[in-house]
Amino acid sequence: MPLNKTVLMAKISINLATGSLQKEDIVVGIDLGTTNSLVAFINPDKDPQVINDAGKGVLVPSVVHFDAQGEITVGNEAKEYLVTDPQNTIFSVKRLLGRSYHDIENYKDFFSYKVIDDNTESLVKIKVGDRFYTPIELSGLILKELKARAEHALKTPVNRAVITVPAYFNDSQRQATRDAGKLAGLDVLRIVNEPTAASLAYGIGLDPEETKTIAVYDLGGGTFDVSILQIQNGIFEVLSTNGDTFLGGDDFDRAIVNYWLEKNQLDKSILSDTALAQQLRLKAEEAKKAFAHQSLFNEKVGEIWCTLERTAFEELIRPKVEQTITCCKNALKDAGLGIDAIDEIVMVGGSTRTALVKKMVAEFFGKDVHNELNPDEVVALGAAIQADILAGNRKDILLLDVTPLSLGIETMGGLMDVIIPRNSKVPTKAGRQYTTSVDGQVNMKISVYQGERDLIKENRKLAEFDLKGIPAMPAGLPKVDINFLLNADGILKVQAIELRSGVKQEVEVKPTYGITDDQVEQMLMDSITHAQEDVAQRMLIEARTEGEQMVYTAKRFLEKNASYLSIQEIADTHRYIEELQAALATGEKDTIHKKIDELNTFTQPFAERLMDEAIGKAMKGKSL
Ligand code: ADP
Ligand code: MG
């Protein structure tokens, strides 16, 4: 028997303000961008429409500012602080979502605010004043602003959303996006790939009969990606993605500013005057946009002449655009396709408004490109269409079987680690890698749960088994792959395999067995009413686990390497460890992070001094 068809998605929604059930609740589509974010919905005429609340503009810059009093601003207002208060103004947080410090160490200088380096595989944090924020919390603030704007503009509570992510986002980045939504008080019905949303906005893929191969070219503010999608029976499959995470419209602006400096015979060093630099940058952006309807830009910033002809502008940016074409070539190659195989090309991102970009892309593919819709709105518009489908409002579109509740396993501290999120189409498979938390651990208990809560004790246990016979190794060395396979009949197969030794174990369960629609409904409702406290608890547990792990590694480090350290260094390290232990006992997240940071900053030079291979490795890896 196939799974119950999206049992509830269409039916339930809860008014968070009153706690009452609502029948007709709107589901919005959100494009959570690196540079700009926006929200769209399906209007009463059944058309997707972007939200422009009180004339504040459609695009909300993805910027968050914290003032000394702890006052938080998001969007245009926050963007102004990029110049005046860069340490407390967070931009491009999407680059950090679901990332460990290890992932970003090569470009940490890009950020003007403090990204915490704790030398582990745990997720990065950002320090603002005395507080530590996770990228999830910061993205949550942006989503909260979008939710508030939608509610204000539509005069109705908005509790459900579809959020888009780049096709190349991994599991951890997708989960982080879901968590951010949860934190903003949103029930995230589905995470959708940005290129999929963009093609939906053009109506591509809505007809289940149609089979197509398309290229989605997305040039935003700071990032570029191209995806090749195959659409068949209403299913979007990503054949390949390519791109450059540091290439976008900002580079065009920089090229223009440098050109002006040269023409005015000024040295680049004058850009250390951040206010002037920002003024020039804004003027450059203005020039770039003006070329849509004029061929010469001629203005002044103070005494500096800002003159630029369109032809000169095009020569400035040509090498950048050529780089994106190389990425397109690579994407085709990875997909194993020739140019002729591409049926449609969809243009996404504000920077595709530049005529030269459109021209070069069209020339490369040998076809007209889709740019009839607003390129910086198209992703949100498509997300709104997907939201409407999930809400069950589009009878013309067949909803595929989906799993009604998330499936996952228990990780340290009793947390639920979701492997297959709810609303995933079936059949599906997903997996993740784990490791041990204690030296010499030879067994690993694997507990499989179903549900939406962050703590497994609130979810429904489906199965439990032991992976036995892991060869004794230091903590963090074993590599255990856990794979979930949910077939079309709703049978879940869970397989655990330790990659170094090959030991393997598996179970099969039927998640829908013994649970009624009403119970599923209840579980979903509980997850929404408890969302805020759940996320808070999860973050505390994660901080605690990280802190405990840190104490463990630091102590071991001292035991093994005492001879390399001075007596004073050993005593100080002990003191930092004790302080961290005291913080762990208080159970305050910020204090724990602060003490982790201090211990880390203090001991890092030692670690660098004697980079012990085994310990270096043991400090990494997600523990089970
Ligand atoms: P992201 O997806 O990274 O959040 P967007 O799609 O919103 O970014 O694109 C932002 C970029 O688009 C900025 O570099 C901005 O200067 C550029 N942009 C916006 N409008 C235009 C225009 N008319 N012409 C050229 N570039 C533009
Ligand atoms: Mg974008």
CB of 214 within 8 A of CB of 228? yes
And the tokens for 66? 């914290």
Alpha carbons 91 and 79: distance in angstroms, whole number: 8
pLDDT band, residue 119 (cuts 50/70/90): low
Checking if the pLDDT of 295 tops 90, the result is yes
Helix (H, G, I), strand (E, B) or coil at 242: strand
- Indicate if 25 belongs to the active site: no
Quick check: CB of 320 below 6 Å from ligand 1? no
Q: Six-digit token pair at 400?
A: 């595929």
Residue 10, pLDDT score: 34
* Mean pLDDT rounded to a whole number for the chain: 89
Centre of ligand 1 to C-alpha 77, Å, is: 18
CA 349 – CA 357 distance, rounded (Å): 11
pLDDT tens digits, residue range 462-479? 999 999 999 999 888 999
Q: Which two tokens stand for residue 573?
A: 């390290």
C-alpha 58/C-alpha 64 separation (Å) is 17
- Structure-model confidence comparison of residues 30 and 205, the more confident one: 30
- As to burial, measured by CB atoms within 10 angstroms (0-12 exposed, 13-18 middle, 19+ buried), residue 608 is exposed
Q: How far apart are CA 89 and CA 81, in angstroms?
A: 6
**What atom of ligand 1 comes closest to residue 249's alpha carbon?**
14
Cα 31 to ligand 2 centre (Å): 7
**Are residues 220 and 34 in contact, defined by beta-carbon separation less than 8 angstroms?**
yes
| Res. 261 pLDDT band, cuts 50 70 90 | very high
Any idea which ligand is nearest the CA of 375?
1
Query: How does pLDDT run across 220-242, given as a tens digit for each residue?
Result: 999 999 999 999 877 888 999 99
Ligand 1 pocket member 353 (CB < 6 A):
yes
Per-residue burial over 418-429, b = 16 or more CB atoms within 10 Å of its CB, e = otherwise: bbbbbbbebebe
Q: Look at 233-247, 303-317, 399-413, 495-509 and tell me which has the smallest mean pLDDT.
A: 399-413
- Distance of alpha carbon 164 from alpha carbon 185, whole angstroms: 17
Q: How far apart (Å, rounded) are the C-alpha atoms in residues 546 and 548? A: 6
With contact defined as beta carbons under 8 Å apart, do 161 and 29 qualify?
Answer: yes
Residues 6+ apart with CB under 8 A from 108: 115, 117
Q: Which residue, 621, 222, 208, is CA-closest to 438?
A: 621
Decide whether any atom of ligand 1 lies within 6 Å of the 254 Cβ.
Answer: no
Nearest atom of ligand 1 to the alpha carbon of 348: 6
User: Which amino acid, one-letter code, is at 462?
Assistant: L
Q: Which residues pair with 490 in a beta bridge?
A: none
Of 218, 376, 377, 379, best ligand 1 pocket probe by most atoms within 8 Å of the beta carbon: 376
For the stretch 513-567, pLDDT in tens is: 888 888 888 888 888 889 889 988 999 999 999 999 899 889 988 988 888 889 9
User: For 244, how many CA atoms within 13 A lie in the half-sphere containing its CB?
Assistant: 18
The Cα–Cα gap between 596 and 594 comes to 6
Residue 433 pLDDT: 93
Ligand 1 within 6 A of CB of 354: yes
Q: Which residue from 34, 79, 289 has its CB within 8 A of the most atoms of ligand 1, so it is best to mutate?
A: 289
| Contact by Cβ (8 Å): 543, 593 | yes
Cβ(623) – ligand 1 distance below 6 Å: no
Give yes or no for residue 134 CB within 6 A of ligand 1: no
* CA–CA dist 378, 386 (Å, integer): 12
pLDDT confidence bin for 481, thresholds 50/70/90:
very high
pTM over 0.85: no
Query: What is the chain's length?
Result: 624
pLDDT in tens, 414-439: 999 999 998 888 888 999 999 988 88
Q: How confident is the model at residue 3 (pLDDT cuts 50, 70, 90)?
A: very low
Nearest to 90 by CA among 143, 34, 30, 39: 34
Cα 83 to Cα 64, 79, 222, 273: the distances in Å are 13, 8, 18, 10
Please count the CA atoms within 13 angstroms of the CA of 587 that sit on its side-chain side: 4
Query: Rounded to the nearest whole angstrom, what is the distance from the C-alpha of residue 349 to the centroid of ligand 2?
Result: 5
Q: How confident is the model at residue 399 (pLDDT cuts 50, 70, 90)?
A: low
- The Å distance, Cα 179 to ligand 2 centre, comes to 20
Please tell me which residue in 137, 218, 244, 548 is annotated as part of the active site.
218
Check residue 233 and give its pLDDT.
79
Strand residue runs (E) in 437-593: 444-450, 460-467, 480-486, 492-498, 504-509
Taking 50 as the threshold, does the pLDDT of residue 20 lie above it?
no
Q: Counting Cβ atoms within 10 Å, is residue 49 exposed (0-12), middle (13-18) or buried (19+)?
A: middle
**Does residue 120 have its Cβ closer than 6 Å to ligand 1?**
no
Domains, in order of start, for the chain: 21-202+376-390 (3.30.420.40), 212-372 (3.30.420.40), 407-518 (2.60.34.10), 533-619 (1.20.1270.10)
Which value, to the nearest 10 degrees, does the dihedral of the CA atoms of residues 437, 438, 443, 447 take?
Answer: -30
Ligand 2 centroid to 72 CA: how many Å? 24
Nearest CA to ligand 1 atom 20: 350
Q: Is the CB of 352 under 6 A from ligand 1?
A: no
Q: Give the 3-state DSSP-derived string for 42-60, with helices as H, strands as E and coil as C.
A: ECCCCCEEECCHHHCCCCE
Edge-to-edge strands of the sheet including 131-133?
114-116, 125-128, 131-133
CB distance 359 to 370 below 8 Å: no
- Report which ligand 1 atom has the smallest distance to the Cα of 59: 7
pLDDT at 122 over 80: no
Q: How far is the centre of ligand 1, averaged over its atoms, from the C-alpha of 354 (Å)?
A: 9
- The residue nearest atom 6 of ligand 1, judged by CA position, is 349
CA 220 – ligand 2 centroid, Å: 5
* CB distance 243 to ligand 1 below 6 Å: no
Q: Is 94 a catalytic residue?
A: yes
Q: Are 90 and 285 in contact (CB under 8 A)?
A: no
Q: Could you give the 3-state DSSP secondary structure of residue 464?
A: strand
Instruction: Name the band, by pLDDT with cuts 50, 70 and 90, for residue 402.
Output: confident
Specify whether the CB–CB gap between 299 and 306 falls below 8 A: yes
Predicted confidence (pLDDT) at residue 101 exceeds the cutoff of 90: no
